[in-house]
Each structure stands twice: as C-alpha cells, then as structure tokens.
Structure 1
Amino acid sequence: MAQLPDNPGVYLMRDAAGEIIYVGKAGSLKNRVRSYFHSPASQPPKVQVMMRHVADLEYIITRSEVEALVLECNLIKSYRPYYNINLKDDKSYPYLKVAVNQEFPYMTVTRQRVRDGSRYFGPYTNVGALQDTLRWLRRYFSLRTCRGGVWKEACRSRRPCLDGHIGRCIAPCSGAVSPEAYRVMVQELILFLEGKGDDLVHRLEEKMRQAAERLAFEEAAKWRDQLAAMRQVLARQQMATERTGDQDYLGVAHEGSLACVQVFFVRDGRVTGREHFYLDGEGGLDPGEALAAFIQQYYSGAGYVPEEMVLSLPPPGQEVMQEWLSQRRGKKVHLTVPVRGERRQLLSLVEENARLLLNTKAAGQRRETEGVLALQEVLGLPVAPGRIECYDVSNLQGSNAVGSMVVFRHGRAVKGEYRRFQIRGVSGPDDYASLREVLGRRFRRLQAGDPRFAAAPDLILIDGGKGQLSAAIQVMNEMEVGHIPVFGLAKREEEIFVPGTAEPVRLPRDSAALQLLQRVRDEAHRFAVTYHRQLRGQQLTGSTLDAVAGIGPRRKAALLQAFGSVARMREASLEELTAVPGMNRQAAGRLYAHLHSEGRLPAEGGS
C-alpha cells in the first residue's frame, strides 16, 4: 500500500485464478485503493463480497482523470469483469454506417465500428426497426448498395446492377451522376439521420420550386413525393420542448442487479428516436453508478455526442465525465439534472418508460429463475443447473447432416456460446451415430482446453427419447464425463426421459420446469434446422450455377449478391440477368435457359 502513487489512474483486481474481477478509476490511486482495505466494514455489501475474492491488485498510472476514465471504459469492455456494471450484449448492437470516405458513399448496417472515416449512427437495439428504416432511406436516398468486387466491376463496365435498372439506386457506377451531385444527396441523408428533418424539408422545398421554375415537372414531382414522405415522418415525431439544439434525455430504473436506461434523442425540440439498454451489476447496483457506467460504455462508441445530456440524477464523477464527453464531441457538453419545468416533465416520461421496460424484463428473469429452481427439484439435481446445454441433429435422408449445441445460463439463452457441427463420420441418416459424434467432439475439445468449449455444463438436454438418450450416455461414459446429468425431452408427448428409469417423467403443461426445457429444446432444434437449410441451400445454389458454362466463381458471387437465391434468379428476366456486373448476354442467356429448362436462348426482351 505504501508504494501506491498519488496519481490518477486505473486499478485492476484479480482473483486467485488470475481473472480480472473488477476495474476502477481514481483521481488518487493511493487514496482510492486504501479505502477498500482501511474501512472494509463501511463498504457496501457488494464490495465486501468482492474483496473476499481479491488475491492480487495492479494499477496503471495516467496523466489525468479523463485519461483514467477512457482507459477504465476500454478495460471494462475488453474484460467484462464480474463485479463491474456491464452494458448487456453491447457488442451485438448494430450501427447504421455511411461510408463518407468514399467518392460515392454507400450506407449499410454493421456491428463493427472502426476508424475508417465513415459516419456511424447508433447503436440501435431494435434490429427489425433499423432494417425498416434502411429500406425507407434507400427508397428516398438512392445511394449505391453494392460494394467490393461487384462495385469495381460495375464501374469498369459502366453498366449498373439490378438496383440501378429498377430505380433503387441512382447508378453512380454508370456515370449518371457527378460526385458533387451525389455528395449533396449524402449530405441530405446525414441531415435526416442527425435529426435535422426541418432543415431537410427546406432544402426539398427549394429543389421543388427550382424544378418547377425550369418546367422540369417530372423532377418537381419527385421532390414533391419525397417532401410528402419526409413530412409524414416528422409528423410522427413528438414535439418535446421549445428549446433548440440537441439533447439526449437519460432516465434510469433499477431493481436488484438489473438496471434499464431509456434514452430519448431530442433534436431541435423534437423527439427523433428512442432506445433502451439493460445493465447488469452483480450483487446489486446503485442507480447513479449504473447511469455513469452507461454513459461511459455507450458514448465511447456512439456515432454522435449531443451538446447536452439531461439526466434523472447526477452520476458520480460528473465533472470528469463532462470533460471527457466534451473531448469526444470536440465542443462543450453539459450534463444537467432538471428539477422543474418542461424538461423535468419530459424526463419523467423517460423515467416512466425505463421503469415499465425494467418491470417487464425483471418479470421475465424471475420466470427464468423459477424454471431453473423447479428443474432442480423435479429432476432431483444436487444443485440448480446454472449452465444447460442442449443438442440436436438435423439431416434430410442423411445429406448435409449437422448438429447443434445451444447454451442457456440461469434460464436465458447465451447465443454467443452456441456451436454448430457438420457431421463428418456418419454416412446415411443415423441420428444416434450423429449425436455420438457431436457429443464426442464437444467433450474432446473441453478436455483439450479449447477456450471455445472451456465451460462444462451443469446439465445436458437431448432433443429426443430413449434411443437418443442412450447414445448420449454411451459417449459421455466413454469420454469420462458421465457425472454430468443428462436427460432427453421427446416431442409430441413432451416426456422427460431419465437415465436408469423405465417410465418417463410427465409434468403439467404449465410447469415452469417443463416450459424451460421446451424453450431450450426448441432453440436447439431451430439452430440445427437453420444450419442444415443453409448448407443445403449453398449446395443447391452451387450445383445449379456450376452446371452452366461460363458461370465461374466471380459471376456466381455477383449473381448471389444481386439476387440472393436461385429462386429469385429464376424469376428474373434476361435483361435483369445481363445487368449483373460481370455478366454478358451470352452467359445470361445460357443461365436463363438452364433455369427454365428450355435449352435455348430466349428471344430479345423475353422474360
């Protein structure tokens, strides 16, 4: 302790296994770390529990508290320590990317935010709503969608792709639009994404007026339709305040170790969007700390930092956080906590939304916990099964046989730990042998120390009855993991098959234990079938296109990029097939004839 410096920095606490279990920041490392040891009884219960597991401590000196905050945020994201408050599944949230670093920018959805000169908007929690937004944006802002080799080939040939032919893209690859005119369209898109809808409306009104003055009535009609659509979108955005400028309103609600932060995005007095996020804090959490953790983790990766954040309560270290946010924005950022007036009224609405969302989430988690505890009771398990793994196999008459492994932790799906297997050592439709192969590969990897299979299950569920269960027990005994409880759940009658018991267990349909097993089993089945269909689709697509002379790997990739499937290629006309970058009329004709089993080149204009 005497060697601790009186400097700002970050400290990392490790347990006996060397795992980082907590990361913290401090203006004075000496004072902050000493406080954990000099007055342990005065610490919150969560900290007292944590300190019983601390076996080692290290620290990193920084030049300022702001630097310490940035480093703390990065380390928490990297290690996701057990006792830190973590933004749930933050790596999976998608962004809307506008590649403004390109001569002709494109927009796409991505889950990777990198420093490549692009503009990123988000992250978004509702992927379906984001895809709907993207479709709307592509309809009214006809930016290119093709990238990579398809874009390069289209530029080389000066022939637009399918989207260009049907009017979904303005086709910059064909030279139909100058970089300057295209850039104006990109700027208008960004205005809309920034919530500056009123500015965009003024631009569209001016464009419509100028087109009408030139007697370009078709162009004026296009701007009129786009203007009407834009006004319809803006009409759905609730007016929030008379204030101008950009604010994010953040309300927090918490219960036990779970918190929900609701964000309203207000631009020029109008609510332009809203998102909600959940945070986990093992052993309970403080709402102020939860809000601070959210601001750090969310705005370190957000595409935009507003000039003001309106908060339901002051976060710890508010001044340092304000300085850090100002550095991120490049201008002054204010953190405010209103106590009255119109901003307080809107904030109350934000907080109410957070509370309703949290109640729904917490109720779901309680049901999941009840299911795990009920499962322990009805199956006579020594401990509650914290980690459940379920296995299923899928094939069609033995072809493209696959296996799936899904993971549920404390009753909740952990999709990042799902695994899938292509069956290699089984010929023909043999579910038992396929299941033995999947389980054998899984436990060999556990025994070999493969980090992707390092966690051992507390319970294994097999999708099937007596036969599948016997196959699983056989291979598990051979692998010397027979101590892990394993059960089968058969479809139709929903009977639970237990090793060493002749009669299956039948539970009431409303049993929390049965409902949990059904969710786990159905998820394993879905995951296996999805993978099987994916492999089968790839095989069918590959064999269909491979049979056509002149369709090599590059043309095959371009066709799949343009149409997505053989079924959509079959619906396309000869002109649409020819329009695919890299295709010519001769190759398109052969493909068209093969898809329609006509064996001849269709006539000009045929479909």
Structure 2
Amino acid sequence: MSETVSWRPKAGEIPTAPGVYRFRDDGGRVLYVGKANSLRARLANYFQPLRSLHERTRRMVLSASSVEWTVVGSEFEALQLEYTWIKEFDPPFNVKFRDDKSYPYLAITLGEPVPRVLVTRNKNLKGARYFGPYTKVWAIRETVDLMLKAFPMRSCSDATYKRAEQTGRPCLLGDIGKCAAPCVGRISKEDHKSIALDFASFMGGNDTRYTAEISKKMMASSQEMDYESAARYRDQLSALENALSKSSVVLSDEVDADIFGIAHDELAAAVQQFIVRGGRIRGVRGWVVDKELDLELPELVDTVLQNAYGDQEPPRDIYVPALPDDTAELEMFLTDIRTTPGKVALRVAQRGDKAALALTVSTNARNALMLYKTRRSGDFVARSQALADIQEALGMTDAPLRMECYDVSHLSGTNIVASMVVFEDGLPRKDQYRRFSIADSTDDTESIYQTLMRRLAHLEDEPDAGAAAEAAIALSTDATVVVGGDDVTVERKRFAYRPNLLIVDGGQPQVAAAQRALDDSGVTGIQLCGIAKRLEEIWLPDSDYPVILPRNSDALFLFQRIRDEAHRFAITFQRQKRKSDITSKLADIPGLGPARVSELLKHFGSVTRLRAADAAAITEVKGIGPSLAQQIVDGLRNP
C-alpha cells in the first residue's frame, strides 16, 4: 500500500487561513465537506500514510480524486459556508440524518387580520408563530381544545370563516364558547387579535401570569356577586390548569432552553431534543444519524446543532452533552438565525435540575439508539440481506443461519466469565444462551480458548447425517426425523447443535485462539471470524488484512448487534459473580446476617463503593456499630 494518494496537493499550496474544503471523486461529485481554522493543518490529517488513517477516512480519501478549498475571513464564516454546502451537495461521507418524520407544530397566524390557531406540519406560513415540534398530533389537538376555553380564538378554516361572514351565522365553536366569533361581529378584529396574542404569550411560557390574572378576576366577580362571570373565569382557569398539567414542570418559570442528548457508537447516533419553554417540556424531537466518518461527540454536537436549527429558531440557552471546538463561532451562527433579540449560549449542564433533565434526555437517546438497531435487525428483508452479505463477505457456501458469538469479561483478572449468545435467522435465541465461569486464565485469548474447548466438546453429541439441520425444524417438541431412510432420534439438547458461524469479540489474537480451539478439538466445517470493536473490522483466521463491510450495511449492523449482545450478557454475569463473591465474604464475618448484608449493599449501591468505604462510613448503615464496621473493612480488604 502506498504512503498516500498520488493527487495530494503540496503543503505549500494549502493556505493556513480558515476555510472550507471539498473532496471530489472522478465524476466531480462532492464526497465530503469540512471546515477548518487552518486549512493546511486540517488537510494534512487526510494525507498521512494510508495505513495510519481510520478505515472510513481511508476509504473516503481513496474514493476521492481531488480536494479544493475556499478561504474565508473567519471560522464563523467557514461554519456558515460549510452549512450551505452540506445542504447543497448532500455529500455521502458527511453525517446523514435519517429523520424522515415531518413533525407537527402548533401555529398561530399572527400575520393575518383575524389570526387562526392550527396544527400543521408546514413551517412556511407567513407571519405565523410556531410552537413545538411535538411527537403526537392528538396531544396537540387535545391541548388546543382545552386552550380554546380560556382563549376563544378562531381555529376554523378560511372557507368556514368566509361562509360564516356571508351568512351571519357562526359555526359550532362560536355557539359553544370556544371561539369569540369575530366572523359575525361578536368581537372586534382588534380584540380578537389581542386574544390570539395572549394565547401565543401563554404558549411561549408566560403561563403562571395568566392563571394568576384569571384567578383574581374570578375572585373579584364572586365578591361583586357577578356569579355568571365568576363561573366563566372558573371554567377558563380549569382549562388552563388542565393544559398545564399535560406538560411537566421541570425547571423554573423563566427558563427557555433546548436540551440535547446524543447516544452514539461506531455506526450511528441517536439524538433527542427536549424543548423547554417557561420551565415546561413543550415538545420532544428525535432522529437518527448515520456516521460515515469517525466523529467524536464534540464533532457530532456541531453537526447536530447545524441541522436541528435549519428550520426552527434556537432559544437563548442550548444544553449539549459536550462543547465543540468552535463553540464561539457556532454560538454566533445560531444567534444570526434568531429573529428575536438575544445571544445564543451553548452550555453543558453540570449540576442541579438541568443536569438531571440532561441525564433524562441522554437516557432517551440511548433507548432510541437501541430501538433503532433492534428494529433494523428485526426487519425480515434486512435480516435476509444481512445473512446473504455475510455469506458473500466471508466466502461461506451457505448463509449463516445459526451464529454463536463469544465474549470474555473480568475485573482486573478476577471473576473471569465468558458468554455465548445465539442468533438464528438473524434473531436472538435467548433460551440457548450459555454462561461460562473460568477458574484461571492468563489473558483474554486463553479465556477464549478455554471457553470454545468446553463448548466444542458438546458437538460430539450431535446426530450424524445432517440430522441437526432437520432438528432445527422441530424445535418445539421432541421429534423423530427421517434421514436417508433411517430414523434419527433428535434430543432437545440445543447446546449441541452445530453453528454455521462462530464469532469472537476481538481481532487477530482472539481469532487465532479460537482457531487453535477448533484445531485441537478436531472440529471442521464451521466458519470463524472476529469483530474488532474500534474500527468494526471483521478478521478471519490466518489473514493479514480484515474484511471491511460498508458502514451502513445490514451485515455490519447484524455483526455489531450480536457482538453487543454477547458483551451485555457477559457483563451481566460478571456483575452477578462479583456480587455473590462479596456476599459470601460478608456472610463469613461474625455478626453479619442476610438482613445486614442486604442493608450494606443497598446503602452503598455497588460493590466498588462498599470496598472503598472506611469504618466511619459503614457505621452509617442501620444496625452496624464501630466494631463491626472495622471487621467488615478488614474482611473485605484482606483476602
């Protein structure tokens, strides 16, 4: 492999000024757009020796045939130009947003002589003020229905409004008090617009002011014995309180902010955006990002914010999981998008209620990423394509209908365990998972060897003449399968069924250890591979180069899913081993019974915290005195 590409520009030709660069292929298509504070320093990263580049970066550089750049006056201008070019060229190696949803908004058309409130997905209504986005249309309609009791403004279509003007008869909403009926002159257009402005102000976060004002009016009317007006104010107050109860109070009333959570791995990232206005969650938005190049969290934040505010106005405060390198320029870029005065500030929530909400948003992002991957793996067409692609990539004669994946977990060499997870037809078969305890091992490769030797020993129980294949058809009950005219009794010992593909979590060393186990066991006819986590490369035995699957392929998603499942299963078992290990040690200490052991673990929350605690901290646990606390410390720290 050559050191770098032949078309690399000379370093002296590249300016050191800030700017935006574009990689193009032979056909002139833009492959990637990026920005830099120093073009020379940034582009030098792409023209290092090819073997030292990240696989995805190397693939992009090898696909390109030229690079061009545009010098700008500042990094802020570079940010603006990068945003424009990404929108224009849609480069395949830039982050891909898979948000195919059109989110509903609540809009108030303040630019019209007689404003109207409506639920819409159209963000281009002239003079309209938008609230949202929201995830559910029915939730917005329900809120609007409640709000019209307090702010009886027009919600009908233009055709309905004109018909009412011509006939002099209002629609049903006017008759039941959910519209002030400006169409028939019950209220002037100026007064109606005032109601619309109050509605918009309430939705913008000034909710407590209106509830206080209506409450005062209700009390005043009651004291004046104007009970009809008091009842009307009471109904309005009830409607406002019901509307407010549908959005959680999370922060103080004056807080207007967007809070982002991002969960990502080597292939994709899930983004969650909580829209907080007046201290309440007014909307939630989520989308998935395909990662083509290897982007770290700060770079993802930069790209996410540029795309998130392409069609909506940013608030003054935006909380993100990490600050990008160009925070100052990005703040200027977002401030320019705002139509209302005020500078946009990017922050990372450190403590208090905002940090707690940021944690909730991040949790939602992790769940969204997991759901996205699960749904993609669960799709029948995608699974079929994934299995076919794996068969072709690994040179297998048949598709890997049964795959087993192995992972090893330990804590500083103690409580060594291994996991085996099984996927059939691309779906997990959890009833066939197995766990292995490893008494002694020198390293992970030795652990892999021991685990596979124990697993492969059970293949001797397999029926001959391909009976295992027929057995896969008769999974639910004991069955007799006829093979070649002979009766073969199939036992329900699924652990003994021969897999088509063995996968180990790791690269060349782990694959070599697994191959050694296959050789020593005398087992043939089973394909073996390993998946290296850092670059998501597939390694085969006795191969100097990995198999590279496309980053967005269903095959790589299936590999990643089975590897992650094996890792999860191993970690879960390892934690159980640690807990039982410390529980047995605690049980050996005189004066500690099951109840006190349970209180200790509950109080400290984890084995690590309990081991690190001193005697004074342990005495805070109910029922444990200084003497017993010291015995616990000695028992845990002295094996």
Q: Normalising by structure 2, what TM-score? A: 0.53
Contact residue 99 and residue 287 of structure 2 kept, 8 A: no
Distance 1:90 1:377 in 2: 26
Contact residue 376 and residue 383 of structure 1 kept, 8 A: no
Distance 2:329 2:262 in 1: 20
Distance 1:128 1:236 in 2: 12
Aligned to 2:259: 249
Aligned to 1:496: none
Aligned to 1:111: 121
SS of alignment partner, residue 26 of structure 2: coil
Aligned to 1:337: 348
Match of 2:110 among 88, 100, 105: 100
Match of 1:320 among 312, 316, 329: 329
Aligned to 2:604: none
Aligned to 2:367: 356
Match of 1:191 among 201, 211, 215: 201
Consecutive unaligned residues of structure 1, counting only runs of 5 or more, are 385-410, 412-515, 517-607
Structure 1 pair 241–125 and aligned structure 2 pair: CA distance change class (3 A): closer
Contact residue 14 and residue 54 of structure 1 kept, 8 A: yes
Match of 1:172 among 178, 182, 187: 182
C-alpha deviations, 1:144-203, integer Å up to 9, x for none?
Answer: 234445544544554434543454432222222123321222122212322332123123
Consecutive unaligned residues of structure 2, counting only runs of 5 or more, are 1-8, 395-425, 427-553, 555-639
2:280 counterpart of 1:240: no
Distance 2:88 2:138 in 1: 28
User: Shift of the alpha carbon at 1:15?
Assistant: 2.9
User: Shift of the alpha carbon at 1:253?
Assistant: 1.0
Query: Letter of the aligned partner of 2:97 in structure 1?
Result: L
Query: Letter of the aligned partner of 1:306 in structure 2?
Result: P
Query: Letter of the aligned partner of 2:237 in structure 1?
Result: L
Query: Letter of the aligned partner of 2:308 in structure 1?
Result: Y
SS of alignment partner, residue 113 of structure 1: coil
**Pairing 1:108-507 to 2, within 5 Å after superposition:** 108-114=118-124, 116-138=126-148, 140-155=150-165, 158-209=168-219, 211-212=221-222, 216-241=226-251, 244-282=254-292, 285-303=295-313, 305-329=314-338, 330-368=341-379, 371-374=381-384
Contact residue 15 and residue 53 of structure 1 kept, 8 A: yes
Query: Letter of the aligned partner of 1:300 in structure 2?
Result: G
Bigger-Rg structure (1/2):
2
Contact residue 255 and residue 277 of structure 2 kept, 8 A: yes
C-alpha deviations, 1:212-259, integer Å up to 9, x for none?
Answer: 466553333222122123223434544434584322222211133221
Query: Letter of the aligned partner of 2:297 in structure 1?
Result: P
SS of alignment partner, residue 52 of structure 1: helix
Distance 2:165 2:391 in 1: 64
SS of alignment partner, residue 63 of structure 2: coil
Contact residue 191 and residue 200 of structure 1 kept, 8 A: no
Distance 2:178 2:242 in 1: 21
Structure 1 pair 5–87 and aligned structure 2 pair: CA distance change class (3 A): same
C-alpha deviations, 1:372-419, integer Å up to 9, x for none?
Answer: 3436769999899xxxxxxxxxxxxxxxxxxxxxxxxxx9xxxxxxxx
Stretch moving more, 135-144 or 373-382 = 373-382
Stretch moving more, 178-187 or 132-141 = 132-141
Distance 2:182 2:228 in 1: 20
User: Shift of the alpha carbon at 1:42?
Assistant: 5.1
Contact residue 31 and residue 91 of structure 2 kept, 8 A: yes
User: Shift of the alpha carbon at 1:100?
Assistant: 0.9
Aligned to 1:563: none
Aligned to 2:421: none
Q: Percent identity?
A: 32
Structure 1 pair 63–375 and aligned structure 2 pair: CA distance change class (3 A): closer
Aligned residues: 384
Distance 1:273 1:348 in 2: 17
**Pairing 1:581-592 to 2, within 5 Å after superposition:** none
Structure 1 pair 239–380 and aligned structure 2 pair: CA distance change class (3 A): closer
Distance 1:379 1:84 in 2: 24
SS of alignment partner, residue 92 of structure 1: coil
2:72 counterpart of 1:88: no
Query: Letter of the aligned partner of 1:184 in structure 2?
Result: S
